[in-house]
Each structure stands twice: as C-alpha cells, then as structure tokens.
Amino acid sequence: MFHRVCVVQSNLWENVLRIALVGHGKMGAALMSQWAAVADRQFPDHDFHVIDPAAQPGTDTPARVTFLKEAPAPGTTAYDLVIVAVKPQMLDQVLPTYAALLADRGFVASIAAGASIARLRSLSGDAPVVRIMPNLPAAIGAGVSGLCADPSVTPEQRDAAEALMAAVGTAIWVADEDQLDRLTAVAGSGPGYVFEIARTYVEAAQTLGFDAETAKQLVLGTLSGTIEMARQSPLDLEALRISVTSKNGTTAAGLDALNGKGDLDALMRATLEAAYARAVALR
C-alpha cells in the first residue's frame, strides 16, 4: 500500500512543478543538461532535484537544480512529477520509493525502455503515468521524443510533460504503447544509425585520399547542410534528390552504386524492423 506524502502542496495547477529526476546516466544527464540551460528562461518557477549517488552538479548549474545522493526522508518533500531515468531492471527497487514521495495529484514519467505503463502504475501505487522515449540529441536541444499517457493522466499533467520535452527538441504524442515502440525504432535508436552511417561515410572519404579530420569535416558538413536544406525546403526528399542529380553525372553514378537495386531501402527497413522487434520483446 502506498501513502503519498502531502506535506508540500502540489502547485501543478499553477504551472509550478517540483520535479525529481531519478537517475543521471547518459539519457537522464542529457535531459537535465538542457533543462538546466533553459531553466531560468522557460521554467523560472520549477525546482529540479537530480537524485543519483554518482551525480555531480556542473559549475554553471542553476540554483534551482539540486543534486542529491539519495531520496529525501519520507515526510519532508513531495514531488509533483517523478521522472524515472534508471535501467528497467532497477525499477522494482527504485520506483516504489519515489512514488511514495508524490504530492497529492502528482504523476510519474518514465524513460526506461520497455517498461510498460501497466508495470509502472503497479510499482507506483497506481499513480498516473506518462511514458517518454527521448533520444540523445536532447542534450543540445535537438532531440525527438515520443510521449504516451495512460488514461488517468490529466490535461494539465500532459501539458507539463510536453513542455519539458519540447524544451529539449520535438515532442510527439502517440496513441498507444505499440506506437511508442515503433517510434523507438525510428527516433529513439535513430542517432545510432546516423552515427554509423556517418562513420562509414567518413571512412569511405578517407579511401579517396583525405586525412581523417578533413574527411570528417567534409562528411559532417555535407550531412548537416543537406538536412537543414531539407528542413527548409517545400520539396519532398525525392524531389530534392532529383534536383541534385544530373543525368549521367557523378551523383547519378554514386546513387546507382548506393541504392540502384534497392539494397539501401531493404537495409533501412530491416534496421527498423529489428529495432521494433527488440522493443516488443522488452515489454
């Protein structure tokens, strides 16, 4: 049985949140680094507690971001939102402790991959739950995050979760957890695919005689410029590709080697299907 601590009145309905980020690994740290960077501008009334035995504040961490080694003592603090950023196998041990510190009308958000809403609600005394799948570029405010809420989550709670994730990039609501698993395959794991594509591109450039640093500059500059052009253009991706491909030219020759037989199409489908299948297996 869970008894939520109510010694601190929840201010959720005034858009003031006391937030606990439990876990400060790669993804938790990525989120907090960006929230801290925009806190004074976007969240002037929010208080953040980062709770992790190994977490350390940076030299420029705002005063409203407090680092704790362990959970506050019961009865001393109540949180409007507990964000769980620990490994899924740690949830059984960690989540009940922090769910007991939720304020009256508080809720839980989780970025633990594969942990279902049903499991999270069971471990948190049936508190409202939002599952979130962010990706690593959140650390620089360029992430893509999927969000899925259980039916008990209120509009105000949805707004609060969305505001936090919009502060680290693009926030996209999905209707159910299967869609969240599919989003995980595309965006959650996506930076890994892009890093690998860039790595092979750089290595290929080196085989043409460029040193490693020059090859990296050429490839990353080409990738970032091309993606930004695609963002700004009203044309679809195929039309853009056609616009830079002269008949019998160098680009046409390269594209024929890259995907002339549809090998790249098949490889990307297989990549996403494998990631989605793994996400399903982790449920």
Q: Where are the domains of the chain?
A: 12-188, 190-281
Is the pLDDT at 152 greater than 50? The verdict is: yes
Give the model's pLDDT for residue 57.
74
> What pLDDT does 277 receive?
96
What Cα–Cα distance (Å) separates residue 187 from each residue in 20, 138, 230?
25, 12, 17
55-114 pLDDT, tens digit per residue, is 777 666 667 789 999 999 888 889 999 999 999 999 999 999 999 999 988 999 999 988
Q: How would residue 40 be classed by pLDDT, with cut points 50, 70 and 90? A: confident
Q: What is the pLDDT of residues 13-38, one digit of tens each?
A: 455 689 999 999 999 999 998 998 88
- Using the structure block, give the residue that is written with the tokens 């195929």: 238
* pLDDT of the residue at 65: 87
Residue 54 is predicted with a pLDDT of 85
Quote the mean pLDDT of the chain. 91
Q: Is the pLDDT of residue 119 over 50?
A: yes
Any long-range contacts for 35-40 (C-beta under 8 Å, 24+ apart)?
A: 35/65, 35/164, 35/167, 35/168, 36/60, 36/61, 36/62, 36/65, 37/141, 38/141, 38/167, 39/64, 39/65
261-278 exposure pattern, b = at least 16 Cβ within 10 A, e = fewer: eeeeeeeeeebbeebbee
Quote the pLDDT of residue 16: 62
Question: What's the pLDDT score for residue 113?
Answer: 86
Question: How many C-beta atoms surround the C-beta of residue 13 within 10 A?
Answer: 12
Q: From the options 3.40.50.150, 3.40.50.10470, 3.40.50.720, 3.50.50.60, give the CATH code of 12-188.
A: 3.40.50.720
What CATH topology corresponds to 190-281?
Answer: ProC C-terminal domain-like fold (1.10.3730)
Token digits of residue 185: 């395959």
Residue 161 or residue 3, greater confidence: 161
pLDDT at position 14 is: 52
- Mean pLDDT over residues 176-184, rounded? 96
Quick one: what percent of the chain has pLDDT higher than 90? 80
Distance from C-alpha of 13 to C-alpha of 283, rounded to nearest angstrom: 33
- What does the pLDDT read at residue 10? 41
In the chain, DSSP finds a helix count (H) and a strand count (E) of 10, 8
C-alpha closest to that of 228 among 244, 240, 245: 240
Q: Say which DSSP state 184 is in.
A: I
* Residues 202, 217 contacting (CB under 8 angstroms): no
Over residues 190-221, the pLDDT tens digits come to 999 999 999 999 999 999 999 999 999 999 99
Provide the whole-model pTM. 0.88
Which amino acid does the sequence have at 249?
G
- Residues 244, 173: Cα–Cα separation, whole Å: 35
Q: Is residue 253 classed as helix, strand or coil in its secondary structure?
A: helix
Q: Under DSSP, is residue 172 helix (H, G, I), strand (E, B) or coil?
A: strand
Q: What is the per-residue pLDDT for 12?
A: 47
Which pair of structure tokens corresponds to residue 149? 């809420």
